[in-house]
Amino acid sequence: MEIFLTLLLVLGVIHLVQAQNQQGFINLDCGLPASEPSPYLQSETGLQFSSDAKFIQSGEIATVQSQTNLRNTLKPYMTLRFFPEGTRNCYNLPVDKGRKYLIKAWFLYGNYDSRDIKPKFDLYLGPNLWATVDIQNIEGNSTAQEILHVPTSNSLQICLVKNGITTPFISSLELRPLGNDSYITQFGSLKLRRRIYYTKSENNYIRYPDDAYDRLWNARSLARLTYISTTSDVSNGIYNLPKSVLQNAATPTNASLPWTIEWTRENPDDQFYVYLHFAEIQDLQANETREFSVLLDGNLFANPVIPKKFEITTIQSQYPRTCERENCSLQLTRTPRSTLPPLLNAYEIYRVIQFVQPETNEAEVVALKGIQETYRLIKINWQGDPCVPRHLMWDGLTCSNTTISRPPRVTSLNLSSTGLTGTIAAAIQNLTQLETLDLSNNKLTGEVPEFLGNIKSLLFIDLSGNDLNGSIPQSLQSKGIELLLHGNPRLCQTKSCTKPQSKDFPVVVVATVASVIILIVVLVLVFLLVSRKKNQYTTMQAQQLPSSTTAMLNITNASSHEPLNEIKRRMFTYSEVIKMTNNFQNNLGKGGFGMVYHGFVNGTKQVAVKVLSQFSTQGYKEFKAEVDLLLRVHHTNLVTLVGYCYEGDHLALIYEFLPNGDLKQHLTGKGGRPIINWSIRLGIALEAALGLEYLHIGCTPPMVHRDVKTANILLDDNFKAKLADFGLSRSFQSGIESHDSTAIAGTPGYLDPEYNHSGRLGEKSDVYSFGIVLLEMITNQPVISQTTSENSHITKWVSSKLICGDIIEIMDPNLRKDYDSSSAWRAVELAMSCANPSYSKRPSMSQVINELKECIMCENSRISNNQGLESQAINIGLDSSVVPKAR
């Protein structure tokens, strides 16, 4: 009895430790009855499962019918949530933006409704289709979907969408955070196609706790294979494979035949990523050698492969690859010098899914949720993304058209006759692109708010049929907005109700005003005289903004769409800046604004802190411009502003930390940075172009960066590019070159010559600078040569080389001729067209993006032909037709 109790205690401790190691895991038992405990420990896996009730607002719960073939099914898959009402029903899950997640959704029908009609429906991630769940066309009555995905916000929406007459349902929803250094792709998410390990064990699958990420590995046992295993420790790699995968492998029984692995593509243009895991787990004799080649779809994938002894090696796709035939084929073939057949521990195959539909502007989503909470609106279709996909748009909304780089915006809100009570919700003012607003025939009270007149795009407002009181704000009467107000008996609509602007000013008032004007003129003259002797921007900092509160208010009153509490949250004191930088210990470099330091917010989040130097040529004006811009624009290729500090003479900008530094360092190898290859350079150029396109056509008003250069293109740990340094950015009137009211600004060599001469500023001023950046990436030549008097500018140097017609003379010799010449020529031609001295002859950033995509396609084709399956993205759907059983 004592032994039995001790064993129970040990098992309890093991499960407790396992539960504690599930940091970031989300395990939802969908449809768990309220009468059952939540969370609970699932005994077979040691995973902590919780009810899904607080993550979704709709649906009904049920339990699968008791059947003999389901008796070993794990508890989380015995209950489910189904959705008889509405077309789209969505889970909202908290995640870390930019973190890679493994997401699994399980579906066990189990004839829960006693109708024995297997359903078919769609599964969405946010506004994009993830998969079609089709229980009708599979063996058994269960399936699963798995994807590797990086969320673009801190909230992940997983939606079940009805696409016919059957009812969507879900059994379990599970999220596991992964390391961002594994399963790297150039673009897209990875849908699981197959994950196999080789063993003669009776266990048919592996999952948590054997796999730390709870990847599900299906065992494969074939008669034509010979299985080997070891009890010795095998060194793991970045993919953190389970011990059973490390210590088990297989080889073909007939060593003279190639080992072939096949799978079927769903569509001709499907792209795949393949991951092969090897470890030599046998003791080889002196005269024995194991060496083999890997072919994917007949093209060389890896050669030669020599598995390391007791150390796992993973060979993976570097680029996405399509299969030429319906059946994709992977072959492992022994080389002539090898005495042993090929060996394989495990493999994974993924299919790339590109989620091209951008989500609705994040600030507007927050505003709509605020409106929903204020009025306690219960609308079955107010779930998921408000604007997209368009056929699932929320009732009462109209949204703008969208592109890949331009998220949709709400242009019309109609909440007429929906039983609204209370005052007009303040969150409405954050719908900054709103053109029509209809709140008629409700029970709204209070005054008509002033903020409605501040929504510049508003053309029509219907407030009729409510119980509003007070007067009409002058801002609404003077803007020419069509305003319907009838049916509000307590609302005064005559001019006599508005606060009068008296025309008969008392003499005292006139005298006072005149004195104030004279005083202002004197102060302005004094200011101008002082500003000539001192730095203009430092003076503005000292005289105009004497406190951090004032700075906050000035920034708040700019064109930022951030709510006031969010702006306050982003403010840091100077003592906090000192603490986060450890008293400015780790210097990352120096820019025109000042020194940049490495730091940590809350002890964990890495940041880069840019501190104004008293000797800087920049100051409060550039500081405010950058804060204003980064508070209101959000794009994956623009650096994220974590916060800012304005306290006395101390100005600081706090950004996300990008560990790979700037592009210039990687072109020159400065600071020990690796020289990047041609393919990565093209990817960086495309991402920088996407960031600029967003500034030019995705912002309202559109913006011009004015300081595009290689030093202002920063790279994250995956070499993803982000534009930085927006201190010189200015708005411009879209489609028209405007005259900048300030002095000409920019970096010599990158500066648009036409803007420099005429002062005309527009989006193509950035295009010129981007062309110079692209030439730098192509040639690795200085923008302005300090050693020669002629051909001193990079455009002249390239022009002189173009006469010879030899691309090798132009391209960076560090690339060692490892590039597609067609891709290189197209890039050179594009760069020179961008850097055309004539403003009107330059392409737009959208045209630049299309050309860069063509360059990348040429380069990818070369890589595919020369290196076999250097596929980048293979999306994988769970290759399991059954829900996991208890082991």
DSSP string, 437-491: EE--SSEE-SBPPGGGGG-TT--EEE--SS--BB---HHHHTTT-EEE-TT-TTB
Distance from C-alpha of 357 to C-alpha of 384, rounded to nearest angstrom = 13
Residue 512 pLDDT = 52
What do you get for the CA distance between the two ends of the chain, in Å?
A: 25
Residue 541 pLDDT = 37
Is residue 158 within a helix (H) or strand (E), and if so which, with residue range? strand 155-162
Residues contributing to the annotated binding site? 610
**One domain, residues 171 and 200:** no
Residue 6 pLDDT = 35
pLDDT at 5 over 50: no
Q: Between these two residues, 553 and 517, which has the higher pLDDT value?
A: 517
Q: How large is the C-alpha radius of gyration of the chain?
A: 32
Q: List all residues 6 or more positions away from 150 whose beta carbon is below 8 Å from its beta carbon.
A: 98, 99, 100, 101, 189
Residues contributing to the annotated binding site for ATP? 610
Per-residue pLDDT of 275-320, as tens digits, reads 999 999 999 999 999 999 999 988 888 888 999 999 999 999 888 8
Q: Is residue 405 part of a domain?
A: yes
Average pLDDT over residues 101-107: 97
Distance from C-alpha of 308 to C-alpha of 306, rounded to nearest angstrom = 6
**One domain, residues 646 and 675:** no
pLDDT band at 520 (very low <50, low <70, confident <90, very high): low
Per-residue pLDDT of 523-540, as tens digits, reads 655 555 544 444 443 333
Average pLDDT over residues 208-212: 95
Is residue 196 within a helix (H) or strand (E), and if so which, with residue range? strand 189-198
The answer to whether 353 and 193 have CB atoms below 8 angstroms apart is no
Burial of residue 545 (CB within 10 Å: 0-12, 13-18, 19+) is buried
Between strands 217-220 and 189-198, the pairing is parallel
pLDDT at 14 over 70: no
Q: What are 646's strand-pairing partners?
A: 651
3-state secondary structure of 703: strand
Per-residue pLDDT of 785-810, as tens digits, reads 866 555 589 999 999 888 878 899 99
Q: Is residue 250 part of a domain?
A: yes
**One domain, residues 330 and 375:** no
Orientation of helix 845-867 relative to helix 678-693, angle to 10°: 160
Average pLDDT, the chain: 83
Residue 611 pLDDT = 87
**One domain, residues 485 and 589:** no
Residue 494 pLDDT = 72
Residue 824 pLDDT = 93
| Token pair listed for 295 | 């072919």
Q: Is residue 526 part of a domain?
A: no
**One domain, residues 397 and 277:** no
Question: Which of 497, 532, 555 finishes a domain?
Answer: 497
| Token pair listed for 851 | 């050309």
Residue 133 domain boundaries: 22-180
Per-residue pLDDT of 485-494, as tens digits, reads 999 999 998 7
Q: Which residue has the tokens 């890949």?
A: 404
Average pLDDT over residues 196-225: 90
Question: Which of 633, 656, 679 finishes a domain?
Answer: 656
Q: Is residue 336 part of a domain?
A: yes
Report the domain count for the chain: 5
**Maximal CA-CA distance, the chain:** 111
The answer to whether 772 and 749 have CB atoms below 8 angstroms apart is yes
The answer to whether 211 and 134 have CB atoms below 8 angstroms apart is no
Q: Is residue 599 part of a domain?
A: yes
The answer to whether 280 and 290 have CB atoms below 8 angstroms apart is yes
Q: Between these two residues, 594 and 165, which has the higher pLDDT value?
A: 165
Orientation of helix 821-834 relative to helix 794-802, angle to 10°: 130
Cα 248 to Cα 205, 258, 279, 334, 638: the distances in Å are 13, 20, 9, 20, 45
Distance from C-alpha of 42 to C-alpha of 44, rounded to nearest angstrom = 6
Does the annotation count 707 as an active-site position?
Answer: yes
Share of the chain above pLDDT 90, in %: 53
The answer to whether 213 and 179 have CB atoms below 8 angstroms apart is no
Query: Quick one: three-class SS letters along 90-118?
Result: EEEEECCCCCCEEEEEEEECCCCCCCCCC
Q: Is residue 800 part of a domain?
A: yes
**One domain, residues 630 and 702:** no
Q: List all residues 6 or more positions away from 726 whose beta carbon is below 8 Å from its beta carbon.
A: 625, 626, 629, 630, 705
**One domain, residues 88 and 118:** yes
Burial of residue 287 (CB within 10 Å: 0-12, 13-18, 19+) is exposed
Is residue 143 within a helix (H) or strand (E), and if so which, with residue range? strand 142-149
Task: Residue 535: count other Cβ atoms within 10 Å of its Cβ.
Answer: 16
Average pLDDT over residues 849-861: 90
**One domain, residues 721 and 758:** yes
pTM: 0.58
**One domain, residues 175 and 200:** no
Query: 490 — phi, psi (to 5°)?
Result: -95, 5
Between strands 79-82 and 641-647, the pairing is unpaired
DSSP state of 498: S
Q: Which residue has the tokens 């173009």?
A: 802
Query: 626 — phi, psi (to 5°)?
Result: -70, -40
Q: Which residue has the tokens 């293109």?
A: 713
Distance from C-alpha of 732 to C-alpha of 739, rounded to nearest angstrom = 9
DSSP state of 228: E
Q: Domain with 633 in it: what CATH number?
A: 3.30.200.20
DSSP state of 696: I
Q: Domain with 438 in it: what CATH number?
A: 3.80.10.10
Per-residue pLDDT of 130-179, as tens digits, reads 999 999 888 778 899 999 999 988 899 999 999 989 999 999 999 999 98
Distance from C-alpha of 302 to C-alpha of 447, rounded to nearest angstrom = 72
Average pLDDT over residues 6-22: 41
Per-residue pLDDT of 710-723, as tens digits, reads 999 999 988 999 99
Distance from C-alpha of 772 to C-alpha of 767, rounded to nearest angstrom = 9
Is residue 778 within a helix (H) or strand (E), and if so which, with residue range? helix 763-779
| Token pair listed for 433 | 């692109």
pLDDT at 36 over 90: yes
Q: Domain with 61 in it: what CATH number?
A: 2.60.120.430
Q: Is residue 624 part of a domain?
A: yes
Per-residue pLDDT of 546-580, as tens digits, reads 333 333 434 444 334 444 445 566 788 989 999 99
**One domain, residues 646 and 736:** no
Residue 7 pLDDT = 34
Per-residue pLDDT of 658-708, as tens digits, reads 988 899 989 877 766 778 999 999 999 999 999 999 889 888 778 888 889
pLDDT at 735 over 90: no
User: What are the strands, taking DSSP E only, across 213-339?
Assistant: 217-220, 225-229, 248-252, 259-264, 272-278, 292-296, 299-305, 313-316, 327-334
Q: Which residue has the tokens 């409700």?
A: 442
Residue 517 pLDDT = 65
Q: What are 47's strand-pairing partners?
A: 42
Catalytic residue among 122, 211, 462, 707: 707
**One domain, residues 63 and 201:** no
pLDDT band at 629 (very low <50, low <70, confident <90, very high): confident
Q: Between these two residues, 96 and 553, which has the higher pLDDT value?
A: 96
Q: Is residue 293 part of a domain?
A: yes
**One domain, residues 409 and 371:** yes
The answer to whether 452 and 429 have CB atoms below 8 angstroms apart is yes
